[in-house]
Structure 1
Amino acid sequence: MFDITKIVRPNILNLEPYSSARDEFEGSEGIFMDANENPFGDLNRYPDPLQKAVKQKLSDVKGIPVENIFLGNGSDEIIDLCFRVFCEPAKDKALTFVPTYGMYEVSATINNVELEKIPLNEKFQINTEDITLNLLDPLVKVIFICSPNNPTGNCIKAVEFIIKNFGGIVVVDEAYIDFADAESLSKKLDIYPNLIVLQTLSKAWGLAAARVGIAFAGTAVIKYLNKVKPPYNISTLNQSAALYALQETSKFELQRNIILQEKSKLLAELESLDFVIKIYPSDTNFFLIVVKDADAIYNKLISSKIIIRNRNKIVKNCLRITIGTPAENEALLAELKNITL
């Protein structure tokens, strides 16, 4: 049986969280003289600290109970909270599989937690037979798995094997799941009490500027994330933006379909370029491609004010290309077709 109290840091177990004025009185009507706010203005009141309206709408859209939802100031805040809740600095460890999203390492370093980095194989998958000892290490408290993975673009196949065979917390970062055919693991929270699934409104929902990250997890995990988070971590403006976007599901579907159609077109065109050596399979809104000279191509595109991501230092001679609008994709292709190496 999974016992979260054996994973949570002792000081967090005993923490008495800050109680804000809006925690102590939840009503929306009355004369508010409790929070030292300016009584004048349209944005003079503190936001809902638990983002109840946004969570209810997310619950309706995603089919996940409200009590299993946590919202962060982007997924990056939730990643940081996972280190702060579960990993004792200078003692415990976390683990991830590389290449992957760079914030796992940044947050580990900030929190003074050793991050073990296990290389993915040539297909960017996890060799499960090579990680048995890592899963049994009592100092490893959290495992981060990005699936679909960034920057490789593929879904990771061994995720459930790791969840079943690891005694700590497994964080599955599904930032790009809305573009994939795979089913979200958020549907299996009742099976896996040690699972945290991250999603975001930054990608398919088009709200990168609003910084609304989502964690789906069991109620025991949600309790500790709420304990540690800042009281007002998501502004009223960003909560309003999230609510508006989640109500526009037809717009979400339309834009996602356009992106996926453009992805197919762009793939076909990229395959015809003589300097493109390989295009890795992608379950996301981007491609990772191997080219003859990544630095040269990147710099030539920069000179034309077309910005892609140079991943040469992470995966040799690789570029990451995000799907743009039809016009942006045409502009990219026109510039690529003029490049000679």
Structure 2
Amino acid sequence: MIFQNFILEHIWNLKPYSSARDEFKGKEGVFLDANENPMGSGVPEKWNRYPDPLQLTIKEQLAAIKQCNVDQIFLGNGSDEAIDLIMRMTCQSGIHNIILCPPTYGMYEVSASINHIEQRKVSLLTNYQLDVAGILEAIDSNTRLLFICSPNNPTGNKLNRTDIYTLIESFKTGFVIIDEAYIDFSDEPSFIQELAKYPQVIVMQTLSKAYGLASLRLGMAFAHPTIISLLNKIKPPYNIGGATQEIVIKALANTSFKKSSVSLLLAERTRLIESLGQIPEVLQIYPSDANFILVRFKNSNELFNYLISEKLITRNRSTVTLCEDSIRITIGLSEENDKLVDLISTFYVA
């Protein structure tokens, strides 16, 4: 793949900003280079020094966990930063377009709208799988990005891997973005292991779900080193704060938490599905490979509002394409799931 053909010329030729911590990477010395406050921070912790702009310690941990190389990893302020940077790197408003497959993660559309990029929407089929023929028909010479979310949000299901391979191998005008935010709850292998074979693929993951670090906002993109170097070139100099980096380093070292939380949530997902299946007004429970389930209810809007009145918050997806009468339910703790089932049962009896 000749990457330069699919990257905007001004991005490819951009001379990036060089921060003080880019120019000197040592950790010891008298630092009079970055206009920092030498007095500290006004709190017991000292946050007065700028953080590592490339987050190398975290990337070394992730490289071991994800079985890839450090130069294949980009870290952003949530996956949303990577989505935005990829669009700005590849798409010129008024010329290029991207393909989305609703229902799917809403930030693809929002980011494209902010960047004034044409969106071609090819809805999933009624079984929530990819419309491969429709996608291939929508592609033209100016299509730069194809977004695939698997396991998909808000439907929860993994997408047919054979279909994804077909699209990767057929799409010749840009990059296939595979969003694996929920991969830790699926038995599907990550496409990270396919990057050497498919340099046109960019994989996104997150620490918000299985690792329990949603508040820190750290997303990951995995790609060919050329793509990673371009993302690093156009990102803000210090896009991941020092406090976030310090906490993430500790969290990644605690390997048992992620394993135990995934195990518990998968068991609770099974139990919740079984419990909801006993309620006649539950019209359909869609297959899930994520830490949530999409459920179609009788009188879903009224049920959603009732649950809110009882201080139990779910996500009403009834207005989303192909998700009519459906509520998305995140898998909670055992007692939280029990409360949910009790409240739903009470609503329909009343």
| TM-score tier (shorter) | over 0.9
| Aligned mates of 2:266, 2:166 — CA distance in 1 | 30
Q: Shift of residue 126 of structure 1?
A: 1.1
Identity %: 46
Name the residue aligned to 1:201: 207
Name the residue aligned to 2:171: 166
Q: Shift of residue 31 of structure 1?
A: 0.5
Name the residue aligned to 1:6: 5
Name the residue aligned to 2:294: 288
| Aligned mates of 2:120, 2:299 — CA distance in 1 | 30
SS class of match (1:237): helix
Name the residue aligned to 1:218: 224
Name the residue aligned to 2:234: 228
Name the residue aligned to 1:138: 141
Deviation per residue, 1:266-308 (Å, 9 max, x gap): 0000111111101111000110111111111100100000000
Q: What amino acid does structure 2 have at the position aligned with 1:221? A: I
Q: Identify which range, 281-290 or 126-135, moves more after superposition.
A: 126-135
Counterpart pick for 2:73 among 69, 73, 88: 69
Name the residue aligned to 1:262: 268
Q: Does 1:78 align with 2:82?
A: yes
SS class of match (2:306): helix
Alignment of 1:6-155 (within 5 A): 6-41=5-40, 42-135=46-139, 137-155=140-158
Q: Identify which range, 235-244 or 205-214, moves more after superposition.
A: 235-244
SS class of match (1:48): coil
Q: What amino acid does structure 1 have at the position aligned with 2:169? A: K
Q: Shift of residue 90 of structure 1?
A: 2.2
SS class of match (1:321): strand
Q: Shift of residue 89 of structure 1?
A: 1.6
Q: What amino acid does structure 1 have at the position aligned with 2:156? A: G
Q: Which runs of 5+ in 1 are unaligned?
A: none
Q: Shift of residue 134 of structure 1?
A: 2.3
Contact 2:181 2:204 in 1 (8 A): yes
Q: What amino acid does structure 2 have at the position aligned with 1:4? A: F
| Aligned mates of 1:294, 1:242 — CA distance in 2 | 38
Q: What amino acid does structure 2 have at the position aligned with 1:65? A: N
RMSD after superposition: 0.9
Q: Does 1:306 align with 2:312?
A: yes
Q: Shift of residue 326 of structure 1?
A: 1.0
| Aligned mates of 1:302, 1:143 — CA distance in 2 | 36
Q: Shift of residue 334 of structure 1?
A: 1.2
SS class of match (2:110): helix
| Aligned mates of 1:132, 1:19 — CA distance in 2 | 41
| Aligned mates of 2:181, 2:239 — CA distance in 1 | 20
Q: What amino acid does structure 2 have at the position aligned with 1:340? A: Y
| Aligned mates of 2:153, 2:132 — CA distance in 1 | 20
Superposition TM-score, scaled by structure 2 size = 0.95
Superposition TM-score, scaled by structure 1 size = 0.98
Q: Does 1:319 align with 2:319?
A: no
Q: What amino acid does structure 2 have at the position aligned with 1:232? A: Y
Contact 2:176 2:200 in 1 (8 A): yes
| Aligned mates of 2:127, 2:202 — CA distance in 1 | 25
| Aligned mates of 1:290, 1:196 — CA distance in 2 | 33
Q: What amino acid does structure 2 have at the position aligned with 1:7? A: F
Q: Does 1:332 align with 2:335?
A: no
SS class of match (2:348): coil
Q: Identify which range, 172-181 or 331-340, moves more after superposition.
A: 331-340
Deviation per residue, 1:111-164 (Å, 9 max, x gap): 0101111110011011222232323x0111011111100000011112121111
| Aligned mates of 2:347, 2:10 — CA distance in 1 | 58
Q: What amino acid does structure 1 have at the position aligned with 2:144? A: K
Deviation per residue, 1:69-114 (Å, 9 max, x gap): 0100000000000110000122211111010000000000000101
The list of structure 1 runs, each at least 4 consecutive aligned residues, that deviate by more than 4 angstroms after superposition, is none
